Amino acid sequence: MKLIKTLMAAATALAVTAFVAPTFAADDPGPAAYAQALKGKRVMLVPLAMGFDLAQGWAHYLKTEVEAWGGVFETRDPNWVVDAGAQAITDAISSDTRPDVLIIHAPDLNSYSKLMKKAQAAGTYVILVDNPANFPADAFIGSDWDRLGQLEAEAAIKGCGPNSSKKIGLVQGDQANSSSLYQYAGIMKVLDKNPDFKVVAKPDSNWDATTSRNVTTTMLQQNPDICSIIDFWDGDATGASAAIRDAKLDGKVFLVTTGGGEKAADCDKLVDGTYGAVVMTDLARQSGDMNAIIKFLLQSGQPAGTSHTYIYTLEKATTKADLKPDSCWDLKALQAQAAAAK
Amino acid sequence: MNTIGWPNFRSLNQEGIVFAIAVVLFVAAAIGLPGFIDPNNLVAIVRSVSVLGILALGMAVVIIGRGIDLSAVAIMAMSVAWYLQLLNSGTPDGLAFAYVLAGVLAIGLLNGFLVAYADVPAIFVTLATGSFVFGYVRSQLITQDAVPVPQGHWVELLGGLRFLDIPIEVFVFAGLAFLFFLFLRYTKWGRYIYFAGDNPVAARNIGMPVRPMLVLRYVLSAFVALVAGLLTAASLHSINTRVVNSTLLYDIVLVAVIGGIGLSGGRGGVRNVLVGAALIGILLNAMTIIDIPLLYQNLIKAAILLGAIIVDGIINPRDEQTAQQGDI
Q: Provide, rounded to the nearest whole percent, the portion of chain A with pLDDT above 90.
A: 45
In this complex, which of B40, B48, B293 lies closest to A214 when CB atoms are compared? Answer: B48
> What angle (nearest 5°) sits at the alpha carbon of residue B271, between those of residues B268 and B275?
105
Do B144 and A52 make contact, defined as CB atoms within 8 angstroms? yes
In this prediction the pTM is: 0.81
- DSSP state letter for A204: B
How close B129 gets to chain A, by Cα (Å)? 18
Q: What is the pLDDT of residue B4?
A: 47
Domains and CATH numbers, chain B: 39-311 (1.10.3470)
Q: pLDDT tens digit string along A263-287? A: 888 888 899 888 999 999 888 899 9
> Which CATH number is associated with domain A145-281?
3.40.50.2300
Asked if residue B2 has pLDDT above 50, the reply is: no
Q: Is A72 helix (H, G, I), strand (E, B) or coil?
A: strand
Chain A interface test: which of B140, B231, B294 (most A C-beta within 10 Å)? B294
Chain B interface test: which of A108, A211, A216, A218 (most B C-beta within 10 Å)? A218
Give the lowest-confidence range in A86-95, A325-334, B79-88, B300-309.
Answer: B300-309
Quick one: how far is CA A131 from the chain centroid? 8
Which residues of A sit within 8 Å Cβ distance of B? 49, 51-53, 56, 79-81, 174-175, 201-204, 206-210, 213-215, 217-219, 221-222, 235, 238-239, 242, 245-246, 264, 331, 335
Q: What is the pLDDT of residue A120?
A: 92
Do A208 and B291 make contact, defined as CB atoms within 8 angstroms? no
Same fold, A40-143+283-314+331-341 and A145-281: yes
> Between β-strands B146-148 and B238-240, what pairing exists: parallel, antiparallel or unpaired?
antiparallel
Do B294 and A335 make contact, defined as CB atoms within 8 angstroms? no
The pLDDT of A181-208, averaged and rounded, is 91
Query: A214 contacts in B (CB within 8 Å)?
Result: 44, 48, 284, 288
SS3 sequence of B116-152: HCCCCCHHHHHHHHHHHHHHHHHHHHCCCCEEECCCC
Query: B138 contacts in A (CB within 8 Å)?
Result: 51, 79
How close B204 gets to chain A, by Cα (Å)? 42
Do A221 and B146 make contact, defined as CB atoms within 8 angstroms? no
Domain definitions of chain A by residue range: 40-143+283-314+331-341, 145-281
How close A167 gets to chain B, by Cα (Å)? 15
d(CA B122, CA B128) in angstroms, rounded, equals: 10
Evaluate whether A131 touches A142 at the Cβ level (below 8 Å).
Answer: yes
Asked if residue B299 has pLDDT above 90, the reply is: no
Q: What is the pLDDT of residue B104?
A: 93
Q: What is the pLDDT of residue B78?
A: 93
Distances (CA, A) of A152 to A82, A229, A318: 28, 10, 10
Asked if residue A220 has pLDDT above 80, the reply is: yes
In this complex, which of A80, A217, A245 lies closest to B44 when CB atoms are compared? Answer: A217
d(CA A310, CA B130) in angstroms, rounded, equals: 42
B39 touches chain A (CB under 8 A): no
Q: Is A282 helix (H, G, I), strand (E, B) or coil?
A: coil
Asked if residue A154 has pLDDT above 70, the reply is: yes
Query: Which of 1.10.1060.10, 3.30.413.10, 3.40.50.2300, 3.40.50.920 is the CATH number of A40-143+283-314+331-341?
Result: 3.40.50.2300
Q: pLDDT tens digit string along B249-259? A: 888 888 888 88
Taking one residue from A and the other from B, the number of pairs with CB-CB distance under 8 angstroms is: 85
Nearest to A242 by CA among B51, B143, B280, B86: B51
Asked if residue B217 has pLDDT above 60, the reply is: yes
